[in-house]
Amino acid sequence: MHGGAQAAMIADVPEAARDLFSKRVKLMAPLLKAWKSALKEEGAVDFSGLIHQAIAILEKGRFISPWKHILVDEFQDISPQRAALLTALRQQNKRTTLFAVGDDWQAIYRFSGAEMSLTTAFHHYFGEGDRCFLDTTYRFNERIGDIANRFVQQNPHQLRKPLNSLSKGNKKSIALLPEDQLEPLLNKLSGYAKPDERVLLLARYHHLRPDITEKAKTKWPKLKLDFMTIHASKGQQADYVILLGLQQGKEGFPAEARESIMEQGLLPQPEAFPDAEERRLAYVALTRARQQVFLMYDKMQPSVFVDHFRELGVPVLRKA
């Protein structure tokens, strides 16, 4: 996606990592060359290539943009490369207006090149304009909203904004529960969840899917139960959300930082706040729920998030 020459890539990397990064780039160069040759032979183009070509065509004046309005949804996921395409389109036609919808609290795709500052500093990159807050949610209740909002805003880099809910909820709308209580919790939910109400199990990784879900259809035939990763759940909703794996360590949540030197050099710089993106990922998980969220934690090695939730007033239940 960088699109530049090797020397330009190396020059952009912080000095402390430059030497090792330079060696890694030189190691990768033959692979990149082979990839480009394979594309050429097929007469194909990859996604990043499409955007680079589009920018080049616009900048050379080989295409004149006829559009008066550009509308971009999920703007918090935009990368510098895609932002450059927007800029090139707007320079073609000075009367073009840009309308963007985004939520920096849900910026969870830095690993694929998304740069949150393009949203948080929108006017710096794209010029002055109006800002309108969508301040009412029609999904989660006020109790879930209050905890989720305060949790994500502990990071000072997030934009401050109000968010109101139509329903109140109660203190048990969000609760911490030991992870050994998962089966009793599903037993309980199967007793009062209505047939059309969805229960969503969420985890940080696919392979953390609990074994119990394989026999769920026979054990709880009336329960509408799904499992997915938190990333995959974006845009989804359910009546009840069970967030699994609040523990420390390699398979834990928040996930430990484990970026290669290539990722450190080429991805947007992370904010100077602990677990910033993992915190936003937790926010996405919490706000999938209409009625109740259960946070399943490891009693022996609880996640750092467990204390943060307790400090915000989330009750700790002993049993489901």
**Whether residue 79 is found in the same domain as residue 157:** no
**Whether residue 33 is found in the same domain as residue 105:** yes
At 60, the pLDDT band (50, 70, 90 cuts) reads very high
**Whether residue 187 is found in the same domain as residue 296:** yes
pLDDT for 210 equals 95
Among residues 103, 126, 149, which one ends one of the domains? 126
**14 within a domain of the structure (yes/no):** yes
**Whether residue 253 is found in the same domain as residue 191:** yes
Check whether 131 has a pLDDT greater than 80: yes
pLDDT digits (tens, 9 = 90+) for 281-315: 999 999 999 999 999 999 999 999 999 999 999 99
pLDDT for 265 equals 87
**Whether residue 111 is found in the same domain as residue 153:** no
**246 within a domain of the structure (yes/no):** yes
**Whether residue 97 is found in the same domain as residue 166:** no
pLDDT for 259 equals 84
Compute φ and ψ for 30, nearest 5 degrees.
-65, -35
Check whether 121 has a pLDDT greater than 80: yes
pLDDT for 88 equals 95
pLDDT for 300 equals 95
Among residues 95, 126, 157, which one ends one of the domains? 126
**94 within a domain of the structure (yes/no):** yes
At 239, the pLDDT band (50, 70, 90 cuts) reads very high
Check whether 120 has a pLDDT greater than 90: yes
Check whether 156 has a pLDDT greater than 90: yes
**Whether residue 107 is found in the same domain as residue 242:** no
**Whether residue 116 is found in the same domain as residue 220:** no
**316 within a domain of the structure (yes/no):** no
Report, as an integer, the average pLDDT of 31-41. Answer: 94
Provide the domain count of the chain: 2
For residue 320 the two structure tokens come to 């489901």
At 78, the pLDDT band (50, 70, 90 cuts) reads very high
Check whether 2 has a pLDDT greater than 80: no
Check whether 3 has a pLDDT greater than 80: no
pLDDT for 94 equals 84
**DSSP result, 83-146:** HHHHHHHHHH-TT-EEEE---GGG---GGGT--THHHHTHHHHH---------EESSS-HHHHH
Report, as an integer, the average pLDDT of 250-273. Answer: 88
**177 within a domain of the structure (yes/no):** yes
Check whether 207 has a pLDDT greater than 80: yes
**318 within a domain of the structure (yes/no):** no
pLDDT for 178 equals 97
Give Cα separations from 69 to 31, 56, 128, 282 (angstroms): 40, 21, 16, 34
pLDDT for 18 equals 92
Of 58-62, 78-82, 270-274, the least confident = 270-274
Among residues 62, 93, 126, which one ends one of the domains? 126
* Position with higher pLDDT, 311 vs 265: 311
pTM: 0.91
Would you tell me how many other CB atoms lie within 10 Å of the CB of residue 35?
Answer: 12
At 5, the pLDDT band (50, 70, 90 cuts) reads confident
**Whether residue 120 is found in the same domain as residue 199:** no
**Whether residue 166 is found in the same domain as residue 201:** yes
**Whether residue 194 is found in the same domain as residue 230:** yes
**Whether residue 289 is found in the same domain as residue 170:** yes
**109 within a domain of the structure (yes/no):** yes
pLDDT for 34 equals 96
pLDDT for 320 equals 85
Long-range contacts of 59-64 (CB under 8 A, 24+ apart): 59/88, 63/92, 64/92, 64/93
Report, as an integer, the average pLDDT of 229-254. Answer: 95
For residue 289 the two structure tokens come to 């729920």
The pLDDT > 90 percentage for the chain reads 82
pLDDT for 162 equals 85
**201 within a domain of the structure (yes/no):** yes
pLDDT for 316 equals 96
Residue 210 CA to residue 214 CA, distance in Å, equals: 8
Q: Which domain holds residue 118?
A: 6-126
pLDDT digits (tens, 9 = 90+) for 180-204: 999 999 999 999 999 999 999 999 9
Which CATH number fits the domain that encloses residue 295? 3.40.50.300
